[in-house]
Chain A
């Protein structure tokens, strides 16, 4: 591999910063209104890997939808720079009628890339990046869960996004596959320089991957705690340092959940 041959590769954080200011989102049906997100502030550096953990009702889906441009805030502002924002789902959401390669090619076409042959070549490059060159012609139902998520990642990368939002992307995978995909994602994050916002229920996963962990409160969603992760990469999910940090974050999360017991 090129990386092994290079002395010490340096990462160029080329992704966009994310600035969220006084962001609120309220859903109103009839006379009742529910605040999904209330007065949220967030500053994410270019190329940063931020993990977000929170219990149910922390408004994470709403937050991701707003950042991805699928929904609008009720008040406040959000700035993701000039680049494309991509969103990767827990279930992969691949198009079942297209092969792995065609899924990525569609991503390229919708991103405005001209030329069928060029798209094909680029799609194969991206599948190579997630180590799926051999599975390019297979359809989603012929791939394992982990492989589907990698195709999904390749498709997201096809958008040449400067911000990559990930909604519990590895939640449905077994521990071993997840471990391997953590390595893969870290490598790709390193190579592309993209900004990643990674939502997860798994606190250890957050400590394994993030530069920073943000804990969200529930109903309404807002940031209540922030943990910088000052551990060298690559980390191992079972290492004592990762476990210690995960325990700390879990305590914080547990306090937040208990607070709702007396609601």
Chain B
């Protein structure tokens, strides 16, 4: 039988507190400004380098300047663009499509990912199919999309969703597959079963991969959208793609390049948002830096 008496000197002493203090210390964190600087300067140098190379190619006279204008010309064109209200209207149209397409892909991809990751039969049936879809260049879908939806925004959204959803689904499936079995066991010991186990343990554990999937899904969505806006010209809308195509028709090289820079910057900005979410998720879990 268990001993029923315990002498008082078993009361918690300060050794515990001392050990805790010694074993955990927080390393000094750099100030926000210096961190910002250390992230920013390599990026800025890369941009400067690219501009210099561009200018050198122009100076070498490889192509006439009405085909390949220098950075100065393009940026003055860009400056004129951003003060123009109709330019922002175009950005609005394109961003609305991007957001809508990505949102639909998010829902569809997440549901498919959740179902496939939890059912081995569904996985055997559709697992490789999803990966196959992901490797397929989305532009291949456009002729079919145009047949189905005519020259409408639905055709564009259809391809955007097809491009992004498989990446999102695969991110979730990969994440669920790599949840440490120990955590699942711990969740079961705590009494979680079925959907509760999925929601409270498996899904949060899979979050880093899921976020990577979202990031990749965004890249696919943005690419498909740009291809769509060039191919599927919907009447009376002047999206960024339409304007880009218009600049080509007019042989306005500075304007064309200015639009390309806009498209690049939007893509980078959204990617940076996903990057920030990704870093935050990882930092909470002590993954990476």
Given the interface pairs A106-B200, A139-B286, A147-B24, the reply to whether A234 lies near B6 with Cβ below 8 Å is yes
Identify the closest chain A residue to B197 (Cβ): A110
* Cα separation A112 to B205 with both chains bound (whole Å): 22
The answer on a CB contact under 8 Å between A3 and B190 is no
Q: Which of A11, A84, A131, A145 lies in contact with B2, CB distance below 8 A? A: A11
The answer on a CB contact under 8 Å between A49 and B286 is no
* Cβ-based interface call for B191 (8 A): yes
Q: Interface residues of A: mostly helix, strand, loop or mixed? A: loop
* Cα separation A146 to B84 with both chains bound (whole Å): 62
Chain A residues with Cβ below 8 Å from B191 are 84, 110-112, 159
* Cβ-based interface call for A10 (8 A): yes
The answer on a CB contact under 8 Å between B23 and A147 is yes
Identify the closest chain A residue to B190 (Cβ): A110
Given the interface pairs A3-B11, A159-B190, the reply to whether A139 lies near B23 with Cβ below 8 Å is no
The answer on a CB contact under 8 Å between B183 and A93 is yes
| Residue total for B at the interface (Cβ-Cβ under 8 A) | 41
Chain B residues with Cβ below 8 Å from A140 are 286
Q: Which of A93, A134, A190 lies in contact with B6, CB distance below 8 A? A: A190
The answer on a CB contact under 8 Å between B2 and A86 is no
The answer on a CB contact under 8 Å between A45 and B2 is yes
A1-39 CB contact bits vs B (8 Å, 1 = yes)? 101101011110100000000000000000000000000
* Cβ-based interface call for A155 (8 A): yes
The answer on a CB contact under 8 Å between B2 and A91 is no
* Cα separation A143 to B187 with both chains bound (whole Å): 20
* Cα separation A112 to B12 with both chains bound (whole Å): 30
B181-201 CB contact bits vs A (8 Å, 1 = yes)? 011011111111000100011
Q: Interface residues of B: mostly helix, strand, loop or mixed? A: helix
A50 shortest CB reach to chain B, Å = 10
| Residue total for A at the interface (Cβ-Cβ under 8 A) | 60
The answer on a CB contact under 8 Å between B205 and A91 is no
Given the interface pairs A1-B12, A211-B1, the reply to whether A87 lies near B189 with Cβ below 8 Å is yes
* Cβ-based interface call for B284 (8 A): yes
The answer on a CB contact under 8 Å between B190 and A11 is no
* Cβ-based interface call for A183 (8 A): yes
* Cβ-based interface call for A107 (8 A): yes
* Cβ-based interface call for A176 (8 A): yes
B205 shortest CB reach to chain A, Å = 7
Given the interface pairs A3-B8, A211-B3, the reply to whether A177 lies near B189 with Cβ below 8 Å is no
* Cβ-based interface call for B10 (8 A): yes
Interface centre among B1, B189, B204, B284 (most CB of A within 10 A): B189
Q: Footprint of B on A, CB under 8 Å?
A: 1, 3-4, 6, 8-11, 13, 45, 47-49, 68, 70, 84, 86-87, 89, 91, 93-98, 106-107, 109-112, 131-132, 134-135, 138-147, 155, 159, 176-177, 180, 183-184, 186-187, 190, 211, 232-234
- List the 3 shortest-distance A-B pairs measured between CB atoms, nearest first: A141-B286, A144-B23, A93-B186
Known: A11-B3, A109-B200, A144-B20. 16 other contacts (CB 8 A): A9-B5, A10-B4, A70-B188, A93-B182, A97-B284, A111-B190, A139-B284, A144-B23, A146-B19, A147-B20, A159-B191, A180-B15, A183-B12, A187-B11, A233-B10, A234-B9
